[in-house]
Amino acid sequence: MNKYIANENRYEKMQYRRCGKSGIKLPLLSLGLWHNFGDKDDFENARDILRTAFDNGITHFDLANNYGPPYGSAEKNFGEIFAQDFKPYRDELLISTKAGWDMWPGPYGNFGSRKYLIASLDQSLQRMGLDYVDIFYHHRPDPETPLEETMAALDQIVRQGKALYVGISQYSAKDTTRASEILRAQKTPFLIHQPRYNMMDRWVEDGLLNTLEHEGIGSIVFSPLEQGILTDKYLNGIPKDSRAATQGSYLDESQITADVVEKVQQLNEIAQSRNQSLAQMAVAWLLKDERVTSVLVGVSKVSQLEDNIKTLENLDFSKNELEKIEGILKNK
């Protein structure tokens, strides 16, 4: 493949939003490498997706230690692509990774201890061939490790120069406030929270978004399409080649109920009236709230990414559209 030279017009169309009260702006769309970048996936396809993202102004690539499969392979493959294509553009990129889920055997390869988090980031940096990441997250709350220890580990990581900023994922509003207080006392830059959020899963509206606004913390939301439910894939039931029909998938057939299909069909009608796909409308709906700094999209091919980027052509909703959507989601 030819030497990669980034599109010189890459910043013309992408929109950026300030992340909380920090100096960082994130693209409205960021690329998540949870799926489709492991060893079982096509390397050149992954490379094309990353190139297309950056060529369209997507400057943020989001990883985690156990993305793959197998664990670690997404970071390894990203590292190879980074070395080949993106090393000259390192200062234009915002790269993040995480630790908090199971990664290696034994009592020190999971959750939120200082030992695990620091060891995991060291391994991640080695796999990616980086001196530092821009953001390092604690990937999930740990019910047993004191929050003070976990936040102290994040503080140490920043002071060692291994990360510029830190974040958390899936923490409750209460624990987010506590984490913010601890990090503020340590003068550690608490940049961002990464929660699951979409039309079907709205737990963040019950206090978390208000907390982030109050604390001056940004948010980047994942699973915007509810694992594919908020697309046109399930308008008429469950296709045999869909994620819901695949054994071992995060989406199970039992989740595609008659009620869900009916809601998706009604939402799709609104999307069509907006000249958008349902997936595009679902992403736009998230971005209507300024407290959502960026939406993480995961794609398996370039065309899907290009469709996601077209979302930015129509982000505005009328009052009537929002009322109709709310009525559908709440079964009114």
Query: Whole-angstrom Cα distance, residue 137 to residue 221?
Result: 13
In a domain, 168, yes or no: yes
Query: Whole-angstrom Cα distance, residue 243 to residue 255?
Result: 11
Determine the structural domain holding residue 124 and report its residue range: 16-227+286-315
In a domain, 251, yes or no: no
How many distinct structural domains can be found in the chain? 1
Q: So what's the pLDDT on residue 194?
A: 98
The owner of tokens 């140490």 is 156
Q: What is the pLDDT of residues 270-323, one digit of tens each?
A: 999 999 999 999 999 999 999 999 999 999 999 999 999 999 999 999 999 999
In a domain, 172, yes or no: yes
As a whole-number percent, the residues of the chain with pLDDT over 90 amount to 89
Q: What is the pLDDT of residues 72-87, one digit of tens each?
A: 999 999 999 999 999 9
pTM above threshold 0.85: yes
What is the distance of C-alpha 55 from the center of its chain? 19
- Does residue 258 have a pLDDT over 90? no
In a domain, 324, yes or no: no
In a domain, 248, yes or no: no
In a domain, 235, yes or no: no
In a domain, 63, yes or no: yes
Q: So what's the pLDDT on residue 32?
A: 98
Q: Among residues 322, 298, 294, which one has the least CA distance to residue 308?
A: 298
- Judge whether 191 and 22 are in contact, CB under 8 Å: yes
Query: The CATH number of the domain where 121 resides is what?
Result: 3.20.20.100
Query: Whole-angstrom Cα distance, residue 100 to residue 159?
Result: 20
Task: List beta partners, residue 201.
Answer: 198
In a domain, 331, yes or no: no
pLDDT level of residue 245 (50, 70, 90 thresholds): very low
